[in-house]
């Protein structure tokens, strides 16, 4: 049996567009995800976040679930277009929802862990160039300041950005996420402005706002392995590591972009002039913790047909419902590498979990053994990492509820609570019961 200390934080996580619904309520205007999901062919089955889990109208019921789960903390994000439905136009009514949520959580002894940006960029901002436009940094600062002014008294920890890689590379390079562009030059600029806005907001929070809570950023990281020891596969793996991990880790922790990747990208990037003097210093300014979303390892091989010579290799590992390798040992290797090469900051696992093909039985039970096993293995890994002194300060299970899984719509269920999207009834899966037990015992 492995024990967790009393101050270790157990939580669950969600994000605004994935659960809230209520897309026109109380003055909210569209985000890029409303537009993208309504564009034919972009999201599985034509699903949208219009209703999602209707969390906006069922928030009290969902707080009761959190209470019964017994979690120490709940991670949620703020829908920017609720708070700023138009450029420079603050909507107090939109903020009211988050104020109530944060206050209620505190009353229930659940620490609010707030992500300021989890991908729902207002459509108005997109129409002005979105993250490709450097002015986005100022729009984000204005939005963040309002969040601090209205919510800081309740909030325990702030995350500036969730997974800049997805927002920039899936959104502007691969086109799988909103706004659905396929242009590397735009993606690298977007990534730069997202990172810059992170640094600016951390500095603003600490220096002018004088906030005292913890603030940091969350990256999605996968440890990358080459399919063989051949020089080609090694090169491919190094490039993929640069594309996914180092392009974000190095500016944040070392104040520079990886030069090998700058070279590789240069055939698509007309000029790196958008990296202005002082930007990397701002991006690498000190924050208080480092957030990691971990799902799977990556196994990579060489492909002469691919732009940057990498492609996923065949892997015989057991898979989750996303087809992702279940890889708790590699998760530990990732944390070791971060400790060796990048940071001594406390680490929060801000997301970890798995989709599986869940079946709701007639008596309301969902026997999701696959998820129970996945969660147990990763929580055990966290406990082992802490025995090795790796300072993992908390674990947030993704996700509290089945929800709108981006391009996969409602097809992929990540929740520990099953949502019947026809009736909005919530059912406890076995994994929720098991997680409540782990949290209660503070051991696994």
Separation between Cα atoms, residue 429 and residue 416, nearest integer Å: 6
Indicate which single residue of 34, 150, 163, 402 sits in contact with ligand FCB (rule: CB under 6 A): 163
User: What is the dihedral sign for C-alpha 247, 392, 398, 362?
Assistant: positive
How many positions of this chain bind ligand FCB (CB under 6 A)? Answer: 12
Q: Is residue 315 a contact point for ligand FCB (CB under 6 A)?
A: no
* Residue 362, C-beta contacts closer than 8 angstroms, at least 6 positions apart: none
Separation between Cα atoms, residue 393 and residue 404, nearest integer Å: 28
Q: Please, which residue, 18 or 327, has the CB nearer to ligand FCB?
A: 18
For 166, 319, 382, 402, the CA distances from 161, given in Å and listed in that order, are: 11, 28, 23, 22
C-alpha R_g of the chain: 21
Q: Is residue 402 a contact point for ligand FCB (CB under 6 A)?
A: no
Separation between Cα atoms, residue 261 and residue 429, nearest integer Å: 43
List binders of ligand FCB among 209-238 (CB under 6 A). 220
Per the DSSP assignment, residues forming a β-bridge with 11 are: 73, 396
372: enclosing H helix or E strand: helix 369-387
Indicate which single residue of 80, 257, 414, 418 sits in contact with ligand FCB (rule: CB under 6 A): 414
Q: Please, which residue, 123 or 399, has the CB nearer to ligand FCB?
A: 399
Q: Please, which residue, 18 or 29, has the CB nearer to ligand FCB?
A: 18
Is the separation of the CB atoms in 411 and 424 below 8 Å?
Answer: no
Indicate which single residue of 162, 197, 245, 296 sits in contact with ligand FCB (rule: CB under 6 A): 162
Q: Is 90 annotated as a binding residue?
A: no
CB of 320: closest distance to ligand FCB in angstroms?
10
Q: Is residue 91 a contact point for ligand FCB (CB under 6 A)?
A: no
Q: Is 173 annotated as a binding residue?
A: no
Q: Please, which residue, 171 or 226, has the CB nearer to ligand FCB?
A: 171
Separation between Cα atoms, residue 396 and residue 69, nearest integer Å: 13
Q: Is residue 358 a contact point for ligand FCB (CB under 6 A)?
A: no
Binding mask 11-40 for ligand FCB (x = CB under 6 A): ----x--x----------------------
Among residues 126, 121, 131, the alpha carbon closest in space to that of 83 is found at 121
* DSSP state letter for 46: G
Q: Is residue 139 a contact point for ligand FCB (CB under 6 A)?
A: no
CB of 442: closest distance to ligand FCB in angstroms?
26
Q: Which stretch binds ligand FCB (CB under 6 A): 52-60, 85-93, 159-167, 382-390?
A: 159-167
Q: Is 324 annotated as a binding residue?
A: no
Among residues 189, 85, 194, the alpha carbon closest in space to that of 132 is found at 189
The rounded Cα 200 to chain-centroid distance in angstroms is: 20
List binders of ligand FCB among 284-313 (CB under 6 A). 293
Residues serving a catalytic function are 163, 351
Q: Is residue 396 a contact point for ligand FCB (CB under 6 A)?
A: no
Is the separation of the CB atoms in 108 and 66 below 8 Å?
Answer: yes
Binding residues for substrate: 18, 118, 162, 295, 398, 405-406
Binding site for ligand FCB (CB under 6 A): 15, 18, 162-163, 166, 220, 293, 351, 398, 405-406, 414
């Amino acid at each position: 049996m492995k024990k967790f200390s009393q101050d270790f934080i157990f939580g669950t996580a969600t994000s605004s567009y994935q659960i809230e619904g209520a897309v026109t309520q109380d003055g909210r205007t569209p985000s890029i995800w409303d537009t993208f999901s309504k564009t034919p062919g972009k999201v599985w089955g034509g699903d949208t976040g219009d209703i999602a889990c209707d969390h906006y109208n069922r928030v009290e019921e969902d707080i009761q679930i959190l209470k019964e789960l017994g979690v120490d903390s709940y991670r949620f994000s703020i829908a920017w277009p609720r708070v700023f439905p138009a450029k420079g136009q603050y909507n107090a009514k939109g903020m009211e929802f988050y104020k109530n949520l944060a206050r209620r959580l505190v009353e229930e002894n659940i620490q609010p862990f707030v992500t300021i940006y989890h991908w729902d960029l207002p459509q108005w901002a997109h129409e002005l160039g979105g993250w490709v436009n450097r002015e986005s940094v100022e729009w984000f600062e204005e939005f963040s300041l309002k969040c601090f002014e209205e919510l800081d008294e309740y909030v325990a920890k702030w995350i500036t950005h969730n997974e800049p890689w997805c927002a920039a590379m899936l959104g502007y390079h691969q086109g799988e996420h909103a706004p659905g562009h396929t242009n590397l030059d735009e993606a690298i600029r977007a990534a730069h402005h997202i990172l810059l806005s992170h640094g600016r907001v951390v500095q603003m929070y600490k220096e002018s706002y004088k906030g005292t809570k913890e603030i940091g950023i969350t990256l999605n990281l996968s440890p990358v392995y080459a399919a063989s020891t051949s020089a080609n596969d090694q090169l491919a793996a190094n490039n993929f590591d640069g594309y996914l991990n180092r392009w974000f880790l190095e500016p944040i922790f070392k104040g520079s972009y990886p030069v090998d990747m700058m070279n590789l990208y240069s055939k698509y990037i007309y000029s790196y002039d958008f990296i202005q003097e002082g930007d990397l210093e701002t991006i690498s300014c000190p924050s208080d913790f480092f957030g990691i979303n971990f799902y799977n390892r990556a196994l990579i091989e060489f492909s002469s047909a691919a732009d940057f010579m990498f492609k996923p290799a065949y892997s015989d590992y057991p898979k989750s419902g996303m087809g992702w390798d279940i890889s708790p040992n590699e998760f530990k290797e990732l944390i070791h590498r971060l400790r060796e090469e990048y940071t001594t900051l406390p680490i929060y696992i801000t997301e970890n979990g798995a989709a599986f093909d869940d079946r709701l039985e007639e008596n309301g039970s969902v026997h999701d053994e696959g998820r129970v096993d996945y969660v147990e293995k990763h929580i055990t890994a966290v406990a082992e990492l802490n025995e090795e002194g790796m300072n993992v300060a908390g674990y947030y299970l993704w996700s509290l509820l089945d929800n709108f899984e981006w391009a996969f719509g409602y097809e992929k269920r990540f929740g520990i609570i099953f949502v019947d999207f026809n009736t909005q009834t919530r059912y406890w899966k076995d994994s929720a019961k098991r997680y409540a037990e782990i949290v209660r015992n503070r051991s696994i």
